[in-house]
Each structure stands twice: as C-alpha cells, then as structure tokens.
Structure 1
C-alpha cells in the first residue's frame, strides 16, 4: 500500500483550507479514532476505580496510595521522549496496538490475581508501573496519528476534539467502573474492562495512516533515552514552542491533580456533606463536565484562537478558577468555578499541544511531542510534592490557592516573554 495514498486530495501546509467546525468528526478516518480513544481512556479510568478499591480493601496502605499516583505519572517523566522517538521511527499503528495490548494485559493480570487470591504488594506495584508505561507509550504515537489524519488547518480541532473525547472517557470511567464493580464484582468487572481496549486495537488494523504519511518522514537514527537535552537544544530558538512546553509544566506543577485530591477538603469547607453525598459528587464531576462541554463549545464557537494569547488566557483562567475554588465559602461559586476551570484547562492544554505539533520540526515531531508529554504529564509527580509541602505549611486549601496564583503569574510571565521576543525580532 503506497504511503502517499491517504493524503491524496488533502490540503498541504502551503495550501491551507479554512478549517471546518467539527471537521475531524466529519472525516471517516479520524471520527472512529476519536471515539475509540475515548473508550480506551474510559477503560483506563475503570481500571483505576476497581483496582484502587481492591488495593485499599486488601492492604489499607497510605504508602501504596501515594505510589498509585507516582507510578501513573513517573513513566511520562522518564520515557516520553524515548517513546516519542519510537513513534517517529516505527509505524504508530503498531505502537498504539502494543500500548492497548499492555493495558489489556494489566487488566487481565489484575483479574487473575483477584480470582486466585494471590495479590501481593509487589505484584500490585509491578502492574501499576506497567499501566503507567502503557499510557506513556500511547501518548506520542497518538498525537502523531492526529497529525496524520488532519490537515494543518484542522489539526487544532483534531487535538481539541481528541482531548474532549478523552475527557469524556475520564468522566464516564468512574460511573461505568462503579456499575461494573456493583454488578459483576471486582474480578469479573476488571476482566470485562479488557473489552474497552479492543476497538482502538482493531481500528489500527483498518486505518491506512501510519503517523508518517503526511510528513513523509521516518526517523532513522539511533534512539536514546538521553535524547531530551539534544531535542531541547535544537528547538530552543523557537520561543513559542518552548513557551508552550513551559506553560504545560506550570499547569502540571502548580495545579496538576491537586483539585481532585483536595476535593474532600473543599466539600467539608463548603458544607457539601459526606464523601458519598450528592454535593460532593457534583464537585467531583464539575471539573470533568467543564472539560467535555467546554471542548464542544470551543469547537463550535472558536472563541479562543490557537495562538500564544489564547493559551495564556486559558492558563490564567485555570489558575484563577483554582484560586476561587480554594478560597470561596459559597458552594455555588465553587461549582461554577470548577466547570469554567475544566473548560480553561482543556483549552490551554489543547492549544499548547496543537502549537507544539504545528511548530515542531518534521524530523523531530515525535520527540518534541514527547518532551511536551514529559513536562505536561510527567511533572504532575512534582505537583504532589508541592501540594504536600505547602499543605503542611498553609493547609490544603491554602496550598491550592498558592498554586492557582502561581499559575496565573507564571502564565502571564510566559506570555510577556514571548511577546517581548517577538517584538525584538520585528524591530531587528
């Protein structure tokens, strides 16, 4: 099958068509890709629901709870650039199938351990690490496939809709996971979870795209886990690209997963009832709902442009809403702020990801996307450290408030530095 076939009749970077609203959902190749990505992300979160519940019931170990977070994000920090290099060098369809197969293998392994009653602390830690590695392996290949499916004009839309469908998976995962846990129990529920990884695995058999069709470039050099400094040096002159990577790091370190972790504390301050109450549940889902609804609204309206200003505005708004949630004593205000914050988080991340993909050199796109994933996802491990340290000094609400304010200041600084650099180049 000739590699040039799928791009026949599509726009090239030098012949851009005006982007269509929901264009990727109109395309017969990218539409099933977006849907199956959402299903895989739902399977990821279903596994969290079932396994975290079992691990707490069996071990009741606070140490293991902390390791669950670290094991999920640390592989992104350590291996994202390496996995980005693999995505540049090999067929992304096969890499995605390997990642989905690893997700399924981990779910099957959990099920066998539950079924035989042989679950131990060490085996749980191994499976948690493998699950994190599957997510890190999937990331860069997934983004290169988006770049292959979409024309340059529609790439921002593809990135945004991909993030929206994955947010929908994150939102639905706890609901479906709880239903499986209730109806089938943890053992057969985790076995059933394997089914959610099959659609994307099978789709990769059918799609003609490889992740390299549009660019026509396949990386041939030796891949090293130490490629990160070299990649950063080669793109250092592109201040917009570097700025978006830094902005992703600021979001990860200063806010990260702190809102979800601190939600029981917020519910208590806001008088939302116990952890099983509807008020608490609404707070938990508000941020996720904002990501899903906001993604579709942003796609429909185009209110934020895919540029530095749009990314900075979204990041500042995310920091501001986090600050509001941490300081308000009014439940309704917190709920609204969480929804708006979900919209802002998705917008900042999607704009940043799209700009990185559009500006990355064709011969390094996978590794540059890997750096973005390393910083934007891997640095969430640092959020746990900052939250614990500031929480001990200021309390949980104070720590989240400081993180929100720091994100606002950092995002504005990134925007100002990029604007200053742009002005200097124009005046030169």
Structure 2
C-alpha cells in the first residue's frame, strides 16, 4: 500500500506536501469566507474569485507542461512554491492590517493562480522521476491520500481559526507551510532521481502536444469528459460555502466541516486505490464519473445539514476514483518526453473550465437556490459520463503504448 515511500526522495516530497497542502486548504476555506464576508454573502463573488484563481490555467498550464518536458522540474517547483507563498503573504498582511478589499482578493487570487497553473503539470509529471514507472500507480494514489488527508484536516482547522482569530492569520499560517515543501525539494538527492528523456528546445512544442492528444481518440474523449465534470460538477467551493451560510444559516466552522466530510470520502477512495496495482481501466473511470454525477444530485436534494454532510462522503469517494483513474491512464500511456505537455492539457481540462463554470453556477445560486449548483452540476456530469462512455466503449481500452 505504501510501496512508493521506500524511495527517500518521495518520502521527503510526501511529508512536505502534507504540511503545505493543509495550509493550502486552510487558505481556500478562509478565502471563500473572506469573499462572502466582504460581499455580504454574494455567491457570484465567490465564483469570480475562483475564475480569477483558475483562469490562468487556460493559458499557462500547457506552457508549464512545456517547461516540465524541457527543464529541471525540481527547480521549477521551488520557484512556483515561492511565488504562491508570496501571494499568500501579501493577502495575510492586508487582512490582518484591516485594509483588505474585495479587489485585493481578486488580484492576489489571480497572481496565485498564475503560479499554480505552471506548478500543476510540473508537479504531476515529476512523480515518475521520484519513484520510477513501477511505483507510479502507487505514488499517484498516495499523492491523492496526501491531498485528501489535507482536505480533512485543513478545512476543519481553518473553520475553527477563522472563528477564533480571523481569516488573516490563516493566510499567514499557510505562508509558513510552504517552507516544508520547499525544504523537501532542496534536500532531495538529485542523483537518485530517475532520468527521463527531455524534449529538445524547439518551436511548435505546444502544437505538438495538442496534436498528439488529438490523434488519440481515447485521450480526446477522456479529456472531454474530464472537462465537463470538472467545469460544472466539481463546484464544491461555491456550493458548500453558500449552502452552509445561506441555506442553513451556519458559520465558517460548518462550511469547514462539510469540506472535511467530502474529504473523508476522497481519503477512503485513495486508500483503496493505493492497494491496487497496474494502470486504471476505462471502466473504472466511466463508472466513477457516472456515480459522482448521481451522488452530487442527491446531495443537492438533501433536506438538512447533517444529511448533506453524510451524503458528501460517498460523493468524495467517487470524485477521488474519477480523478485518480484519469491521472493513471494518462501518465501510464504517454512517452516521457510528452508527459509534461499531456499533463498540462489535462490540467487545462481539469481546471480551465472553472472561469466559465464558477460564475455561471454562482449566479445560478443567487437567482434560484444555493442547492441549484449541486443539482445542475451533477446532472451535467452524469450526462457527460454517459456520452463519454458511449464513445469509449467503442474503443474498448487504451492502446498498448507504454511510457518510455
């Protein structure tokens, strides 16, 4: 289950990531709550800040993939982590100083989004260099466990701290947490990293990445499904914050608890995934997407806060299975000198639709009901999974093109 932890470099990475990710989730909850406070509970404002934070993915994620294919991923990650820490520091100082305004949050969310857009494909494609191909599937599952353990701990801590000391100090704590992952990257034994083939510096490499994906029908359909589910279904930062505040009349601690129950489900799914070996099957990907759409709709119809919290647990498990299986299929089926660009395109599909989906769903919540983003997002996800499945069943399985 923990085979990838035998590698020292990966142990350093995982330990640094867990601390940093707890801080990141603390900041996400605090940022959502700060925006709701500054905007007097406006869901559209939360959608706008999400659009600004994830919007840079539309332009920069594929460039990040090009950088990952060309250059030293470890050094790039150190720089992106420093940039994200700087954005958090400025926001924390403004908030603690009592001078923060909504436009400050918008601007700094955009700055952090630029760094994150480059960081994501580099980080994802760096995993194989730490553990090698044989342990890649296990490492991807452990990455998900780390991420979702942080999703359990971070929101719960953040909800309490917001109540006790305010959102500003949460941002400053997150800045300190970045030091752990930066230290892990610095302390890695570079000689023990697995050597992978780098792409030579040349023109047209972004076009080459898109052409590679387009020429593989299986990847086209998989990524289109990921785009639809991520754009409209994975809207929990908007839905849960507005649901807790506007539907149930509760505070930041209640929002944090809903995020935590969702994460409990994803952690359970990650634990199961870590026990599996071999690449994910397309049937698992399609089944998880279908289950997620149905479960998210069910969450939207739950009549009480406790029932919403309970229903989020299996929903979280479906989310984890969906994202992990997609990541596994992509990383195991592309050559090493193309992996960064393919992961950049994946992040473009996974996050790039947020600037479209978040404002629309936020406006939908304001006009109709805070439950509407969950019901509509779940329905769109379910339809996308069924349509994607109709195409993918005709392809049967990914072609046998093992990564080099």
TM-score of Structure 1 vs Structure 2, range by shorter chain: 0.7 to 0.9
Aligned-pair distance for 1:289?
A: 1.2
Q: Distance in 2 between matches of 1:283 and 1:112?
A: 28
Residue number among 325, 339, 343 corresponding to 1:369 in the alignment: 343
Displacement of 1:391 = 5.2
1:30 aligned onto 2:5: no
1:359 to 1:376, Cα distance in 2 relative to 1, 3 A: same
Equivalent position SS for 1:215: coil
1:245 aligned to 219, 223, 238, which one?
Answer: 223
In structure 2, the residue matched to 1:346 is: 320
Q: Confirm whether residue 404 of structure 1 aligns to residue 384 of structure 2.
A: no
Question: Which residue does 1:421 correspond to in 2?
Answer: 395
Give the Cα separation in 2 of the matches to 1:318 and 1:211: 39
Alignment match, 2:84: 103
Matched position secondary structure for 1:29: helix
Structure having greater relative contact order (Cα 8 Å, sep ≥ 6):
2
Q: Check 1:240–1:153 CA distance in 2 against 1; reply closer, same or farther (3 A cut).
A: farther
Is contact 1:145-1:210 (8 Å) kept? no
- Superposed, 1:253-292 pairs within 5 Å as 253-257=231-235, 259-263=236-240, 273-276=248-251, 282-292=257-267
Indicate the residue corresponding to 1:43 in structure 2: 23
How far is 1:47 from its partner? 2.6
Partner of 1:169: 150
Q: Partners of 2:143 and 2:220 in 1: how far apart?
A: 23
- In the alignment, what sits opposite 1:6? none
Q: Quickly say closer, same or farther: Cα 1:318–1:162, change in 2 above 3 A.
A: same
SS in 1 for 2:112: helix
Contact kept? 2:21, 2:150, Cα under 8 Å = yes
Residue 412 of structure 1: how far off its partner (Å) = 2.5
Offset at residue 197 of structure 1 (A)? 0.4
Of 307, 310, 323, the residue aligned with 2:297 is 323
Q: Aligned to 1:80, which of 55, 61, 71?
A: 61
Alignment of 1:41-190 (within 5 A): 41-54=21-34, 60=40, 62=42, 64-114=45-95, 119-120=100-101, 122-181=103-162, 186-190=167-171
The change in CA–CA distance for 1:244 and 1:23 in structure 2 (over 3 A counts) is farther
Q: Secondary structure at the match of 1:262?
A: helix
Tell me how far 1:329 sits from its aligned partner.
3.8
Q: Kindly indicate whether the alpha-carbon contact (under 8 Å) linking 2:16 and 2:183 is maintained by their aligned counterparts in 1.
A: no
Cα distance, 1:313 vs structure 2: 0.8
TM-score by length of 1: 0.81
**Counterpart-to-counterpart distance in 2, 1:280 and 1:385:** 20
TM-score by length of 2: 0.85
1-structure distance, mates of 2:278, 2:351: 23
Between stretches 389-398 and 290-299, larger displacement belongs to: 389-398
* Offset at residue 348 of structure 1 (A): 0.8
Does 1:293 find its partner at 2:275? no
Shift of 1:110: 2.4
Distance 1:53 1:223, change over 3 A: farther
Native 8 Å contact 1:156 1:350 kept in 2 = no
Moved more, 313-322 or 209-218: 209-218
1:85 is displaced (CA, Å) by 0.8
TM-aligned CA distance change 1:184 to 1:277, over 3 Å: closer
Q: CA RMSD in A?
A: 3.4
The correspondence for 1:201, drawn from 167, 182, 190, is 182
Contact preservation (8 Å) 2:297, 2:378: yes
| Between 273-282 and 174-183, the greater mean CA deviation after superposition | 273-282
Range with bigger deviation, 64-73 or 387-396: 387-396
SS at match of 2:56: helix
What is the distance in 2 between the residues matched to 1:331 and 1:304? 39
In 2, Cα distance between the equivalents of 1:352 and 1:260?
A: 22
Where in structure 1 are there 5+ consecutive unaligned residues?
A: 1-20
Which residue number corresponds to residue 235 of structure 1?
213
User: 2:285 corresponds to which residue?
Assistant: 311
**Residues 55 and 415 of structure 1, relative CA distance in 2, 3 Å threshold:** closer
User: Which one of 173, 178, 195 corresponds to residue 192 of structure 1?
Assistant: 173
Per-residue deviation, 1:109 = 1.8
Rounded to whole Å, the distance in 1 between the matches of 2:256 and 2:360 is 26
Aligned residues: 398
* Aligned residue among 369, 378, 396 for 2:352: 378
For the residues of structure 2 that align with 1:287 and 1:36, how far apart are their CA atoms? 23
Relative to structure 1, the CA distance from residue 417 to residue 214 in structure 2 (aligned partners, 3 Å threshold; closer, same or farther) is: farther
